[in-house]
Structure 1
C-alpha cells in the first residue's frame, strides 16, 4: 500500500472519529481524505511543493 492511500485512509478514519453523521460528516471525511492523499503523495515523492506555486505562464512547450 502506498503512502498516499495510507494517508487517505488515515484522514477518513479521523473524519469518522471526529464527527459522525449527516452531510457535514460526509464533507469532513472527504476533505480529510483529500488532505491525507495529498500529504501521502508528498511523502512518496510524487508531488513537490513547487507544483502548487508555479506561475501560469511557465508552460511546457
Structure 2
C-alpha cells in the first residue's frame, strides 16, 4: 500500500512541474482535474457521503 505521504509528494511534484513547464492556467486545470478524480474515487469507494456534502453546501447542519 502506498502511504499518504508518498501520494502527497507525487501530487505536489506533478502540480509543480505542470506550473513550471506549462504555466499557471495549466496548473489550475490539472489541479481541478485531480480534485474531481479524487472526489469520484471516494464516491465510488463509498468513503464520501454525497448527501452530506450537498447538505453542507446548502448550509444545513448535520447531527453527526
User: How does the TM-score come out when normalised to structure 1?
Assistant: 0.56
Gaps of 5+ in 1: none
Structure with greater proportional helix content: 2
Shift of 1:57: 4.3
Partner residue in 1 for 2:26: 25
Gaps of 5+ in 2: 2-6
Partner residue in 2 for 1:58: 61
User: How does the TM-score come out when normalised to structure 2?
Assistant: 0.54
Q: 1:32 to 1:57 in 2, by over 3 A?
A: closer
Partner residue in 2 for 1:36: 37
Which stretch of the first structure deviates more once superposed, 48-57 or 22-31?
48-57
What is the Cα-based RMSD across aligned positions, in Å? 2.8
Which stretch of the first structure deviates more once superposed, 32-41 or 43-52?
43-52
Shift of 1:52: 1.8
